[in-house]
Structures are given as C-alpha cells and as structure tokens.
C-alpha cells in the first residue's frame, strides 16, 4: 500500500468510528478498522490532532464530491428537483461534519486552540471547501441560467446560506427547514403569486 493510500485508509476508517460513538476511537480501533498495524498510524500522522485535522478536511471536502453530485443530478427533470437533492446531500454532509468537528474540538489541546486563534479566521482547507461548494452549486444553477432572475452565483450563495443557516444548532427554530421547503423558497420566493410583493 502506497503512503497516500495508507493515509486515506486510516482517515476513512476513523470517520464511521466517530460517527457511531461520538468520541475519538483508540489507535487500536482505528488500526483494526483501517487494516494496518497500530504503529503505522503515527508513522503517517505526527499526532492525534494531525489525524483529526485530516479527517475534518476529508469530510469537509470529499475528493469525489463534484463527480458524485453530478451523477446524482443526471436524470432529474427540473431545477426544483435538483435543488431538493442538493439540499438533502448538504444536510447529510453538515450532520457528518458537525459530529467530526465536535470531536476535533474536544481533542484539541490549549496549544492547538491558541494557535488557531492566533492565525485568525478558519483553516485554509475550510475556506477552500466552502469555495468549492459554491462553485459546484453555481454550476447547478448555471444549467438553468435562462430560468433565473439572478446570476447563478447569487442563487448558489442564497441556497448555501439557507441550508447552513437552517442547520446551525444555535439558529434554528422548532425544526430546521426541510429540503422541500428550501427548494420551494429558492425557486419561488416567500410571497404568494397573487401578493403585491411579487
């Protein structure tokens, strides 16, 4: 197994272990799930925090995210159908990312937290993942440019904002917006067709 394959195997083994338990697995559990020797983990990663950072980066920016999104939309007939699928995928991703980042935060040492605060702003891979997501969303709307009254990039930003805002644990109401509700709001707005605001 090549070093990059070993690294990927370890990272991908950690994700379901964290999602199942909500805690950081032991190196023994990781090694068993990845099919490597326990000592291999720290030959690939400097420490546990470096491993968790790699896991966070992987769930935020899965290597095949663009291809998988494109494949899931291929046979859908219209923009509202595509938006529903996109939202459902984003909602699942947010749940996974939130669970992983919770553990990353729990495992972070005061030194790691101080370093993050000193740098200011989110890690570079978070910025890159968000930019990549907006690019993918814009591409979805670009296919329906003639149906839009705003630029595809503005529609993409609106969709991302609605999904993220409705999933944020500190900002939701009684229940987060569903994929159907978000698709309807993005494609039709919040006013009735017979309303003066339309």
What pLDDT, on the 0 to 100 scale, is given for residue 120?
Answer: 66
- CA dist 82 and 106 (Å) reads 36
What pLDDT, on the 0 to 100 scale, is given for residue 52?
Answer: 87
What pLDDT, on the 0 to 100 scale, is given for residue 181?
Answer: 92
What pLDDT, on the 0 to 100 scale, is given for residue 132?
Answer: 93
Regions of the chain where pLDDT drops below 70 = 1, 108-121, 169-175, 195, 197-198
- CA dist 34 and 50 (Å) reads 17
Phi first, then psi: what are they for 32, rounded to 5°? Answer: -65, -45
pTM above 0.85, yes or no: no
- The number of CA neighbours under 13 Å toward the Cβ of 176 is 18
Q: Read off the pLDDT of residues 92-116 as tens digits, 9 standing for 90 and up.
A: 999 889 888 888 878 766 665 555 5
């Amino acid at each position: 197994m090549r070093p990059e394959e070993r690294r990927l195997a370890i990272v991908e083994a950690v994700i379901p272990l964290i999602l199942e338990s909500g805690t950081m697995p032991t190196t023994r559990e990781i090694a068993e799930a990845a099919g490597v020797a326990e000592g291999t983990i720290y030959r690939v990663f400097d420490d546990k925090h470096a491993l968790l950072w790699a896991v966070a980066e992987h769930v935020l920016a899965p290597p095949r995210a663009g291809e998988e999104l494109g494949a899931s939309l291929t046979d859908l007939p219209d923009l509202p159908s595509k938006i529903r699928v996109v939202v459902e995928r984003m909602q699942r991703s947010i749940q996974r990312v939130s669970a992983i980042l919770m553990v990353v935060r729990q495992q972070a040492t005061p030194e790691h937290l101080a370093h993050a605060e000193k740098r200011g702003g989110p890690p570079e891979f978070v910025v890159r993942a968000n930019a990549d997501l907006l690019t993918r969303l814009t591409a979805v709307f670009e296919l329906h440019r003639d149906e839009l009254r705003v630029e595809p990039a503005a529609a993409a930003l609106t969709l991302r904002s609605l999904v993220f805002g409705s999933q944020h644990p500190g900002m939701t109401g009684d229940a987060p917006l569903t994929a159907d509700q978000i698709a309807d709001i993005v494609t039709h707005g919040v006013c009735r067709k017979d309303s003066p605001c339309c």
